Structure 1
Amino acid sequence: MTAPFRPALVEGLQPLANRYDLVLCDIWGVLHNGVKAYEAAGEALTRFRGGGGHVVLVSNAPRPGASVATQLDGFGIPRSAYDAIVTSGDLTRLAIEERLRQVVHHIGPQRDLPMFADLGIRFGTIEEADYVVCTGLENDERETAADYLLRLEAMLRRNLLMICANPDLLVERGHMIIPCAGAIGLAYEELGGPVYYAGKPHVPIYERAVAKAAALAGHEIAKSRVLAIGDAIRTDIAGAVAFGIDSLLIARGIHAEELNLHQGALVSQHVQDWVDRQAARPQAITTTLSWAA
């Protein structure tokens, strides 16, 4: 009988660091919670880079990587913590560039409009559009995907493609858990609508991130030497499994309640029971990203 899979419970990145040349690190939920930065996380990635490793931040942010870097500066996350940023916004923008002659209908808040900057995009209603880009909910603190049902049904009648610029279902903002574009994408998919997900857990964003790291390193990087870090089973861990790389789950994120964290400590049996229920499983789990406890 096969023994049950047991992820290692580690106290920081240090116990794992020597096994890897490249870290692909999630941003929201790992480096910050949308309100404040996690200082120890930035320090851990800086230490990893100081030992010769490379770090590419891989985010489902529905904005280009350059604008995410500016946001991280505002949080006080040091540039020494990473070599490059790849976002689902970058991949969404590439998909938009393939459709410059088409009319787009945008679902999402005004803050995501940098996605379309300098592309000469023509916007239109659902009835006028050739496709839809969903970057999020227009008011993610009050709305849910159910509030978009009439629009999704109208899109389905025209069989419009939705490009989902943020495949996350949920994200942590301070002490709140809020819905993301992925919740709308999933609702449209369940109605039978066609959806292209631009970010994690889908392979293209990992291919782009590893290629960028290889260019910086000046050589190819074996998948066996790549570690993904994130706080979401559905995107970060499932994406790592699909791409064939190891992963480290940050427990004090969107799964904190499910993992039954008690006074900041991971209880082994609680963790194992939870992991056994998951389709995708990380090689290791730590409470928050730090170099060492």
Structure 2
Amino acid sequence: MKKINSIIDIENQYDLILCDIWGVLFDGDRIFPGVHDALSKISKKVFLLTNSSQRVTVLEAMLNKLQIARNTHYQLLISSGEFFCQSVIHQTLPLKLPAKYFFLGKNHQIIANLPNIERVHNHHDAQMLVLAGNVLYKNEIEQINPILEDCAQNQLPLFCLNPDMISMDADKRPVACDGQIANHYQQKSGPVIYMGKPNQPIYQYALKNSMIHQPKVLMIGDSYSTDGLGALNSQIDFALVSSGVEYHHWQTNNTNMSFEQWIHQQGYQVKWLLDSLN
């Protein structure tokens, strides 16, 4: 692991750069300093790769408001939510389609009106569960727990559109994400299909869309459990930015070690370490 000052210092070593959004570009509210400048200076292809369950059109509109524009600061945006939708449309899910689904979460509009799947309001009538949008207040978890137990017993697959366990808000506080519900379902022996990082399919989808033959790829992220492991599983170099999830884990670990020493102790396979993109 080598500490660097800017992503510009190493970009010429790669053909394609995959970059997380939350915790790397912005904190859920504000753009981190130097992000616009760094993205505009990168000469290689930049794909934004996020575990957001939102569709690409929604995320692009959000980034436009932050003055991060496609073709100026990045070439393609891929979200785990969009990846799920495209997999449904092209019938590439690991499940026979058409199928009926029971929805968990707050963001049903993400998958409303998709072909090949039909929503049912009784989980006993479903062939799969779809989770999108945090359902993590204690009373809500208690409400859906009997449903999860029933579905796990019947081995109903759960498609998790945001595999993240936590993200960081603008005040540097951890926010629970859908991955916690999916993990809870797995503990009940329910089968889970994670649509985003760290699973390889979303990386393969990104590489296919790059139109580059055997590219040398770098993944930039703030979480080792998603960005880092995904890169490792796909044989991609990983650059860890100390502005998000892992930095929070280090701070709450009550250790006297530096952040860099702590990363070494965890056994994380990190190629580059930087405080921010620039």
Q: TM-score, normalised by structure 2?
A: 0.87
Gap change, CA 1:104 and 1:76, over 3 Å in 2:
same
Give the alignment partner of residue 8 of structure 2, picking from 10, 14, 23: 14
CA distance, structure 1, for counterparts of residue 88 and residue 66 of structure 2: 29
The residue correspondences of 1:114-133 to structure 2 (distance < 5 A) are 114-119=110-115, 121-124=117-120, 125-133=122-130
The share of aligned pairs that are identical, in percent, is 26
1:167-225: CA deviations, max 9, x gaps?
111111212311111111111111100111111001111111111112xxxx4142xx2
* Match of residue 228 from structure 1: 219
Check the 8 A contact 1:201/1:238 in 2, yes or no: yes
Q: Is 1:30 matched with 2:24?
A: yes
The residue correspondences of 1:194-205 to structure 2 (distance < 5 A) are 194-205=191-202
1:140-173: CA deviations, max 9, x gaps?
5x44995443331121132211011111111112
- Give unmatched runs, 5+ long, in structure 1: 1-6, 262-267
2:110 partner SS:
helix
* Match of residue 72 from structure 1: 63
Check the 8 A contact 2:131/2:159 in 1, yes or no: yes
Give the alignment partner of residue 146 of structure 2, picking from 147, 150, 155: 150
* Match of residue 60 from structure 1: 51
CA distance, structure 1, for counterparts of residue 65 and residue 138 of structure 2: 27
Cα drift, residue 288 of structure 1 = 1.9
Check the 8 A contact 1:63/1:115 in 2, yes or no: no
- Give the length in aligned residue pairs: 266
CA distance, structure 1, for counterparts of residue 103 and residue 265 of structure 2: 36
- Give unmatched runs, 5+ long, in structure 2: none
* Match of residue 159 from structure 2: 163
Check the 8 A contact 1:30/1:250 in 2, yes or no: yes
Check the 8 A contact 1:33/1:173 in 2, yes or no: yes
* Match of residue 44 from structure 1: 38
CA distance, structure 1, for counterparts of residue 262 and residue 150 of structure 2: 39
Q: TM-score, normalised by structure 1?
A: 0.83
1:150 partner SS:
helix
2:269 partner SS:
coil
* Match of residue 176 from structure 2: 179
Q: Is 1:89 matched with 2:89?
A: no
Which range moved further: 187-196 or 68-77? 68-77
1:94 partner SS:
helix
CA distance, structure 1, for counterparts of residue 200 and residue 116 of structure 2: 29
* Match of residue 208 from structure 2: 211
1:40-73: CA deviations, max 9, x gaps?
223212210xx3x100111111122232212211
* Match of residue 242 from structure 2: 251
2:249 partner SS:
coil
Check the 8 A contact 2:153/2:190 in 1, yes or no: no
CA distance, structure 1, for counterparts of residue 242 and residue 140 of structure 2: 26
Give the alignment partner of residue 100 of structure 2, picking from 103, 106, 111: 103
* Match of residue 284 from structure 1: 272
Gap change, CA 1:149 and 1:251, over 3 Å in 2:
same
Check the 8 A contact 1:10/1:284 in 2, yes or no: yes
**RMSD of equivalent CA atoms:** 2.3
Check the 8 A contact 2:14/2:218 in 1, yes or no: yes
1:258 partner SS:
helix
1:259 partner SS:
helix
